[in-house]
């Protein structure tokens, strides 16, 4: 019995505790951390549904427009608004609601986020203004983030000296490899070449930990290699190009540069300029065998297999020295590999012309003639494909195919184009698609489409609700109208009472008599149950408001539908503007590619004509045998 009593008490106490918890959970401060709508908005934002999250937080604010909420509420509202791509509204929230908050770290983070938003949209002046504002009260923990973003803004504006000074002041231990790369580029462009080269060389030797750092290492080596190539330091550029992967975003350009590095002057030995924070060089820079340097292994260059891979028949040199032949043969190695790749890439197109240039210098004029004809055919095909891509861009199909695979995402600023449609234009615009200017215009375009879709859905819902409301209201009016027709018993009693009083009421008077009896019962007259009163209380119906003053569910739906009808044309105009902007950006890029293609095509035709002219003038001693 005691055990049973103890069990009952335990269950009772547990139930009471659960009830207390439930009661506590039902009590929350609107806009506070325990507000279920705020938590729902945080969940939506965590799933990149920033539009729904911002709308939910706005709903909380609309219920109490005069109330001052806690700073975390405004931070969430500003972050969701900014993430969806509305910087002006977010800036107003930051300035009016969080400026006097007692949390400078959160305020500075918000300001940096806003400046980053402006930077990625190429609004460099606005980004500089935000960074200057936040710098005055910047917490030390965010100094490295400020230096990183400020240097990128300055680099985008071509202010290399200022960018280099800011990055040089940064703590070496806190700098990322991306900041070191930017510092190297800034130093070289500012005239401090030795220090910039040293910094890029350190980035080019880093041990990659992920795909981003691997791509950064390739980019640093490519930038450094072309720097040495431009300064006629071919001997120094060769091993730098050799660090780049054979398969990667920078591989084709590295193969092209490597070939020209073999033909460039050897140059002098480079002196290393120290920055003062050097670490021992990384001996594991070549973390993979899949680097271009593997192509330079002994036997791969010296043997005649390079000519076989290029589908060349044996030929005799035309008075070339052994050293010059070795250089030309070495240049052919990366170029033969390069021309086996997609001819869409401009680097591959230039490689198609570089090989016959080398063959012509070697004296293999017929071989060079065949390669020039092959290059001309490939360039003409590229011109046709560029014209086709331009037609698709002008038709508007390009933009629609890019956003159709993810039309309902509310990620706004965070949205990324993860996959490309299988269309001719996308192959030529791969580099352009990665640029911020195109990405941001594409985001704005898809956001206008998203908002139009939302408004169309709500317009249909409101139409359905209005139809349902009108139908139901009509039925209720028919059903709820009071039936004043007396029953047979009521009519008989009324006639009996009239006869006793000496009256002869007709049927029309029966309705008035019944209504008078009901009113008398309510005001205490003639009712045995009514309270005694010396004077009756007069009852009057309140005057109904005019139709123009009454705002109910039906009128509210009408107002919303009117607003939607006004917003839809504005969104359609914004969509047209952003679509035209995207189209112009793509067409400008295609026009540049067509210009390069025409230049290469003209050069190859002149070179081929020169070979024909030399054959007409005399015998060719370098023909195949």
Which one is predicted more confidently, 92 or 314?
92
How far is the CA of 414 from the CAs of 80, 81, 82, 210, 499, in angstroms?
11, 12, 10, 21, 88
Mean of pLDDT over the chain: 75
Question: pLDDT for 308-343, tens place per residue?
Answer: 555 555 455 555 667 777 788 888 888 888 888 887
Q: Which residue has the higher pLDDT, 94 or 426?
A: 94
The per-residue pLDDT for range 31-81, each reduced to its tens digit, is 787 888 888 888 888 888 888 888 888 888 888 777 888 778 888 888 888
pLDDT, greater one: 171 or 160: 160
Q: Which two tokens stand for residue 580?
A: 């035209």
Residues 6 or more apart from 142 whose CB is under 8 A from it?
105, 108, 109, 112
Q: What is the CA radius of gyration of the chain?
A: 40
pLDDT for 133-156, tens place per residue?
888 888 889 999 999 999 999 999
Instruction: Determine the pLDDT at residue 269.
Output: 59
Is pLDDT larger for residue 25 or for residue 112? 112
Between 474 and 560, where is the model more confident? 560
Query: CA 301 to CA 610: how far, in whole Å?
Result: 29
| 176-228: pLDDT as tens digits | 999 999 999 999 999 999 999 999 999 999 888 888 889 999 999 999 999 99
pLDDT in tens, 242-300: 999 888 889 999 999 999 999 888 766 555 545 445 554 444 444 455 777 766 655 45
Question: How would residue 13 be classed by pLDDT, with cut points 50, 70 and 90?
Answer: very low
Structure tokens at 51: 């539009």
Comparison of pLDDT for 473 and 113, the residue scoring more? 113
Q: What is the pLDDT of residue 85?
A: 76
* Angstrom distance (rounded) from CA 347 to CA 339: 9
């Amino acid at each position: 019995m005691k055990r049973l009593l103890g069990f009952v008490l335990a269950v009772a106490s547990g139930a009471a505790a659960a009830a207390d918890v439930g009661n506590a959970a039902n009590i929350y401060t609107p806009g506070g951390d325990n507000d279920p709508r705020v938590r729902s908005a945080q969940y939506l934002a965590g799933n990149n549904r920033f539009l729904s999250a911002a709308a939910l937080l706005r709903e909380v604010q609309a219920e109490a427009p005069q109330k001052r909420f806690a700073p975390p509420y405004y931070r969430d509202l500003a972050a969701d608004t900014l993430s969806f791509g509305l910087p002006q509204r977010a800036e107003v929230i930051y300035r009016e609601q969080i400026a006097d908050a007692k949390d400078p770290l959160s305020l500075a983070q918000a300001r940096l986020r806003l400046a980053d938003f402006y930077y990625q949209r190429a609004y460099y002046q606005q980004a500089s203004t935000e960074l200057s504002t936040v710098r005055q009260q910047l917490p030390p923990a965010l100094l490295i983030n400020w230096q990183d973003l400020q240097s990128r803004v300055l680099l985008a504006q071509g202010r290399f000296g200022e960018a280099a000074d800011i990055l040089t002041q940064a703590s070496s231990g806190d700098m990322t490899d991306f900041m070191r790369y930017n510092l190297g580029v800034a130093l070289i462009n500012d005239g401090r070449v030795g220090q910039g080269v040293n910094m890029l060389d350190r980035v080019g030797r880093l041990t990659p930990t992920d795909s981003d750092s691997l791509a950064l290492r390739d980019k640093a080596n490519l930038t450094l290699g072309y720097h040495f190539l431009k300064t006629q330091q071919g001997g120094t550029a060769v091993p730098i190009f050799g660090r780049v992967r054979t398969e990667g975003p920078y591989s084709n350009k590295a193969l092209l540069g490597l070939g020209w590095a073999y033909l460039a002057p050897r140059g002098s030995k480079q002196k290393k300029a120290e920055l003062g924070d050097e670490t021992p060089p990384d001996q594991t820079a070549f973390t993979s065998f899949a680097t271009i340097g593997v192509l330079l292994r002994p036997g791969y260059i010296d043997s005649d297999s390079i000519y076989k891979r290029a589908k060349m028949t044996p030929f005799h040199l035309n008075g070339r020295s052994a050293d010059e032949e070795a250089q030309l043969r070495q240049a052919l190695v990366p170029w033969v590999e390069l021309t086996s790749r997609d001819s869409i890439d401009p680097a591959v197109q230039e490689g198609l012309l570089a090989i016959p240039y080398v063959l012509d210098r070697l004296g293999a004029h017929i071989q060079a003639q065949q390669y020039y004809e092959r290059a001309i055919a490939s360039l003409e095909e590229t011109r046709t494909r560029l014209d086709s891509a331009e037609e698709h861009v002008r038709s508007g199909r390009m933009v629609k195919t890019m956003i159709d695979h993810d039309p309902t995402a509310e990620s706004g600023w965070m949205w990324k184009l993860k996959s490309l449609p299988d269309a001719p234009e996308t192959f030529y615009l791969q580099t352009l698609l990665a640029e911020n200017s195109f990405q941001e215009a594409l985001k704005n375009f898809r956001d206008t489409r998203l908002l139009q879709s939302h408004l169309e859905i709500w317009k249909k819902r409101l139409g359905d609700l209005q139809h349902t409301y009108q139908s139901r209201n009509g039925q209720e009016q028919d059903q709820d109208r009071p039936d004043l027709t007396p029953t047979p018993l009521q009519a008989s009693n009324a006639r009996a009472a009239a006869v006793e009083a000496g009256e002869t009421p007709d049927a029309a008077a029966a309705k008035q008599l019944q209504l008078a009896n009901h009113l008398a019962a309510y005001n205490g007259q003639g009712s045995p149950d009514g309270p005694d009163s010396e004077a009756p209380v007069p009852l009057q119906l309140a005057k109904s408001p005019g139709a123009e003053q009454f705002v109910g569910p039906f009128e509210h739906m009408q107002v919303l539908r009117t607003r939607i009808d006004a917003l839809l044309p504005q969104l359609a105009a914004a969509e047209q503007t952003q679509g035209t902007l995207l189209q112009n950006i793509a067409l400008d890029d295609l026009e540049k590619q067509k210009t390069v293609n025409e230049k290469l095509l003209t050069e190859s035709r002149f070179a081929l004509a020169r070979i024909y002219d030399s054959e007409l003038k005399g015998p060719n001693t370098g023909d195949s045998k």
